[in-house]
Each structure stands twice: as C-alpha cells, then as structure tokens.
Structure 1
Amino acid sequence: MTTRPDPRYAGYRFPAEIIATAVWLYFRFPLSLRMVEELLAARGITVSYETVRQWSLKFGREIADRMRRRAPRRGDKWHLDEVVLTIAGRKHYLWRAVDQDGFVLDVLVQSRRDAKAAERLLRKLLKQQGRAPRVLVTDQLKSYAAAKRELTLGGEHRQHKGLNNRAENSHQPTRRRERQRKRFQSPRHVQRFLSIHDPIANLFHAARAQAFEAWADIAGARLAA
C-alpha cells in the first residue's frame, strides 16, 4: 500500500517510499551512509551513499520541522544535562533538555560550559516551549543555578546527579553515533544532525504503530516494504 504521491518528491527517480526509508534508516539508527546504501541494496535498490546523504540533508530537515510543528505540548519538568564532545581535536559541550516522559526538548552545541551557555540553552527552551518549567532537574553544575537566577525563573530546582539519569541516558544515542562516525566533523554538523535525529526519535518514542502512521503522514510516504 502506498500513500498519495507527495509533490515534494516530484522529479526524483526513486519513489517517495524509498527516499523516506533511506532518511528514516539514517536518522533512526546509528548507521553510516554506506550502511544505509547496503541495506537498500539488500532490498534490490541500487542507490549510492552520496544520494542518501543528499536525501538526508534535503528531506530530513523538512520532516523534522514538520514533526516539531505537530508535536504535542511537552512536560513541564525539564531535565538538563551536558556532555563533552571532541570535535576536530577541541572540546565542545552538548547541552540537552529532556522532559519527564523522556522526550527531547532541544539540544545545543556550545564551546563553553558556564552560566552564559546554560542561560543560552534556557532562553532557547523558554522560547520554544512558551512557558517556564515547573521543575528544573540538573546535576550540581553551578552554571544552571546562575542562569536560572539571571532569567528570574520561578519553580523548583533540584540539583543532584542521581536525579538526572533521564537526561544522561538521552545522550547515549549521540555517543553511539559519535563512535560510529569516528567523531563528528564540526559543531555545526552535530547541531544539524541532532536537530533532525531527536524529533524523529521522539516520534518513535511513542507507540510504534501510531509512529509509523504519523511518519507516513508527515514524510508524505510510507516506508518501503
């Protein structure tokens, strides 16, 4: 069964279902472009890894943006955490926010791990979520408390490493992707990839059958059988 042809895929040699499947495989699982090429080849679909890369850039961002617009309102208990990434031999920090149900709210790659960086993340979250958190859960990094004071946020702030496993666990797919890629190429590369990866991961965090139906509606194509 196929969905009605989507005009976004007009002019492409491959059907929408194949393009959507390639994009889904690349962002849903820790696979390289060449691995996606091979998985498609196993289904009798001959497409180069460079074509998969181009599809991922063009359609991945568009699909992720549609998912964000359609996403229900997320929880008001925010778990914030940051991890170190080594990019081109330099330390960077990946800041991530997750709600109480495990949905990623946002990520931000920054070169610093201070109050200004924490404040930048919080400002971005406040703008996107349209409200302040009821509860903020962080580790004991003092930058979070300083940023909260600077923004005059109310609500409870719980600072304890053991309480923040939800945010820490949310970093694991990024770590797997980092190992598979043998390091990311640039901060912009990490930000771009995760801004597409996380909305797709959020979608499949829900009931699987409903997620596949939602994917077909948002992407304009079902996954290839």
Structure 2
Amino acid sequence: MTWDDLRVDHAGGAVVKSRSPSYKGHRYPVEIISHCVRLYHRFPLSFREVEELMLERGVVVSYETVRRWCLKFAQTYAGALRRRQPRPGDKWHLDEVFIKINGERRYLWRAVDQDGTVLDILVQDRRDKAAARRFFRRLLKKTGAVPRVIVTDKLRSYGAAHREVMPSVEHRQSRYLNNRAENSHQPTRQREHAMKGFRSTGGAQRFLSAFSGISPHFRPRRHLMTAPDHRAEMAIRFAIWDQVTGVTSQPAAA
C-alpha cells in the first residue's frame, strides 16, 4: 500500500500530490532503509562500509540488503526530489567526460543550469553528433522547457546537434565558459574512484541518475552561506528527504 503526501510545486505554487514508495514486505523500518540509501549516495561509501556504520548504531543489516534497497528505492527517491525542484533556469551548461565501464571508455553527458542544478545525465558509447542529438532531445523532453542559451565546449558535435534540434536557442561555445558543468562532474569522479569504476553501461546509468538526484540535495552552496544559514537549510533538506521517502508521511495505524 502506498500513501499520499502533499507538497508545494515550486514552479507554480500549487499544492499537488506525490506518492511515496511502498515498503510492503520489508521488515526493516522505513527510517533505516532511507538512511542507508542516503548514506550510500551522499558519501563515497561502499555497501560494506554502510553496513559497518549501521552496526555501530546497533542495526544489523547486511551489505547485500543495502545494495538491494539502493537498487529498488534510489531512483524513486531521486525522482521525487527532482519534482520538488523549481523550474530550471534559462541558461544550460552541457559537458561530457569519459568514464571507464568494465575497462572500456564511455562518455557521461551532463547538463546543469546556471544555478548548478543537475538537469540530466546520460551515459553513451560515443560523443558524436548522434549522441549529442540524443542528449538534447532527452533534455527537452525531461525538463519540458527550452533554454534561452546553451553553453558548451568546442566539440563539433554540439554545434551540429544544436542546429538540428534547437536552432532558435543561442549557442555559446568556449573552453572558458563551462566551469559550471565541469565542476558538477567532481562528485561523480569521487564516486567512480571509490567504486573502482562501473561494471556495465546500464548499471552506470542507473546509479549516476539516482546519484545526480540525491547527492546534490544534500550539497547546498555552502560557500555562500553563514554557518547558521547552512544548518537551517540542511534541516529543511532533511525534512524534505523524510517526506519523499515516507518517513514522515505514513498513515496512522488502524
């Protein structure tokens, strides 16, 4: 059984319903499941390290169980967090970096807006025109918005795909203007190193999609805040996490 929780749509101010995930059949409390998923996606930890941290707190749970929880719930949590974000800004920064999957080179495409909010990621085999076009179309469909300007490096694939998919959007190409997207790759690099690479393209896409939705939620722009403001902001974000995971929105017992 699932339950509804009410949230405020930041884009329009309307109160809408979002649905919490079902935990039917799980013998562990929701608090433990959501906490393990948060630990794994927020910090560069292995499943065994999460198991150890939970054991320190008196909770006996195997690393395999933590792995199954992450596979089952992380995407749902990330999607719920994304739906609570305000509409994306009108300036998008796009970039691609190579990652190793089972020893072979693949490319991670990423888009963020001018505030650093991750709009989407996509793991692909190539970085040619077809790959750029696929990423552009995915972005437009997923965000439901069209940017005023996109900023990329000088990879020719961007220009070719831009002319075909969104020719009316201003396109700025420079190796010096795209630090916003390049900086957004850093947490991913940390996780890639901690995980010793990825084993499959599908696995990398699933993990990085969830990771890009969960990790930034707990990474406010700390350098722009005072310590009290940061603590207050984190309290809000923890409360939102509890809501989307169902910790604070369960129905009363019958």
Give TM-score scaled by structure 2 length: 0.81
The aligned residue for residue 15 of structure 1 is 29
Name the structure, 1 or 2, with higher relative contact order (CA <8 Å, separation 6+): 1
Residues 178-212 of structure 1, C-alpha deviations (whole Å, 9 max, x = no match):
11111111111110001111111232244312111
Which residue of the other structure, out of 29, 43, 62, is the alignment partner of 1:29? 43
Is there any run of 5+ residues in structure 1 with no aligned partner, and where? 1-5
Q: Mapping of 1:167-182 within 5 angstroms?
A: 167-182=181-196
Give TM-score scaled by structure 1 length: 0.91
The aligned residue for residue 55 of structure 2 is 41
Shift of 1:7: 7.5
The aligned residue for residue 163 of structure 1 is 177
Which residue of the other structure, out of 44, 50, 53, is the alignment partner of 2:67? 53
Q: Mapping of 1:1-225 within 5 angstroms?
A: 8-206=22-220, 207-221=233-247
Secondary structure (helix, strand or coil) at the match of 1:12 reads coil
Shift of 1:139: 0.7
Q: CA RMSD, aligned part only? A: 1.5
* Number of residues of Structure 1 aligned to a counterpart in Structure 2: 217
Secondary structure (helix, strand or coil) at the match of 1:8 reads coil
Structure 1 residues 153 and 54, CA gap change in structure 2 (3 angstroms)? same
Q: Percent identity?
A: 57
> Structure 1: which amino acid aligns with 2:53?
L
Shift of 1:72: 2.0
Q: Is the 8 A contact 2:150 2:170 kept in 1?
A: yes
Structure 1 residues 148 and 165, CA gap change in structure 2 (3 angstroms)? same
| Aligned counterparts of 2:194 and 2:96: Cα–Cα separation in 1 | 20
Residues 141-179 of structure 1, C-alpha deviations (whole Å, 9 max, x = no match):
111111000114313211111111110111111111111
